Amino acid sequence: MKHVLFIATGGTLACRQSENGLIPALTGEDLLTFLPELSTLCTITIENLFSIDSTDVTTAHRVQMAELIFREYANYDGFIISHGTDTLSHTAALLYHMLRGIDKPVLLTGAQKPIGVPDSDAERNLLDTFRVIAAGYRGVAAVVHGRIIRGNHLVKVDCEDMDPFRSINAPVEGTIAPDGTVHLCPQTPVSRPFELIPVKDTRIFVLRLIPGLDPAVFSMLSGYQHVIIEGYGSGGIPVYLETGLKALIEQGTNVYITTECLSGSVDLTKYAVGCRAAALGAVSLGSHTIADTVASILCGTLTDEP
């Protein structure tokens, strides 16, 4: 039987109603009492790391999760993190980049409804996560609504539906049928040693292009080392913003271009508006999601990853 470290951090699945709305209230021990069948799947140690809405999860909290897993790596066959769904993609992406060369499962899950309430997705998602560990998955991924999604491709696309996540620009890594049967896609062997990549640079800003954006905005961004522009379609910069962009790049800020589209790749060679941006020094983010880009900039690994 696999030995799993279950790390509880809060989120809706651990919430109870208060007079001020849903608030995380259940411990890891409380959560697991809803899943008696777990005793046949894994042996479990529980770590109540924190109990917060994922809105309040900071980079420091995420680093704490990565450090805990790194420290305990040899003692467990796998790690499960229960987490709020709202920022789960950011945690998954940062753990994916920080836990480089990991050869054990680190699985995150959350739910749209608290555990124990009618029609909650929490029980299934939590149980599936343990099933995926028992089936032998390796790497950092989210397990939600019957899908295994790699940590750097996860995006939350719906804040109400029970199927809120998608794997963007990559196929899912596997599925879990409603009867609990896990199907894992073939995984490539890990080719680098396991190491903990530290967070290096937090001076990141994401700017969304909107029609009529004031060009003066670029002069306000000079304190940031990295600016990600979420632009239109395949990428490009409107001509009236070029002067501001050029000045920002010339004073030393790294500027990257991604797209407001949910999937597909930025290609700055496709249109003249993109070629102009590239000539000014803006860098295409290709098919990376925002969460993945932010995490890889934080870890200084942006240029290393495919």
In contact, 28 and 47? CB cutoff 8 Å: yes
The nearest distance, CB 83 to ligand ASP, in angstroms, is: 7
Closer of 86 and 173 to ligand ASP (Cβ): 86
- How many residues of this chain bind ligand ASP (CB under 6 A)? 10
Between the alpha carbon of residue 133 and those of residues 23, 32, 137, the distances in Å are 29, 16, 6
Quote the radius of gyration of the chain (alpha carbons, Å).
20
Least separation in angstroms between residue 250's CB and ligand ASP is: 39
Q: Which stretch binds ligand ASP (CB under 6 A): 52-60, 124-132, 138-146, 227-235?
A: 52-60
Query: Does residue 53 belong to the site contacting ligand ASP (CB under 6 A)?
Result: yes
Nearer to ligand ASP, 11 or 151 (CB): 11
Among 11, 28, 78, 231, binds ligand ASP (CB under 6 A): 11
Q: Does 12 bind ligand ASP (CB under 6 A)?
A: yes
Residue of 82, 91, 109, 112 interacting with ligand ASP (CB under 6 A): 112
Q: Report the nearest approach of ligand ASP to the CB of residue 227 (Å).
A: 26
Q: Are 76 and 92 in contact (CB under 8 A)?
A: no
Task: Please give the distance of CA 279 from its chain centroid, rounded to a whole number.
Answer: 31
Asked if 253 is part of the footprint of ligand ASP (rule: CB under 6 A), the reply reads no
Residue 181 found at the interface with ligand ASP (CB under 6 A):
no
- Nearest to ligand ASP of 86, 128 (CB atom): 86
Q: In the bound complex, which residue of the shown chain has the CB atom lying closest to ligand ASP?
A: 84
* Contact with ligand ASP (CB under 6 A) among 78, 110, 139, 236: 110
Q: Which stretch, 49-57, 62-70, 183-191, 208-216, contacts ligand ASP (CB under 6 A)?
A: 49-57
**Shortest separation between residue 53's beta carbon and ligand ASP, angstroms:** 4
Position among 39, 55, 202, 251 found at the interface with ligand ASP (CB under 6 A): 55
**Annotation marks residue 181 as catalytic:** no
Q: Is 151 in the site for ligand ASP (CB under 6 A)?
A: no
The set of catalytic residues is 12
Residues at the site binding ligand ASP, with contacts judged by CB under 6 A: 11-12, 53-55, 84-86, 110, 112
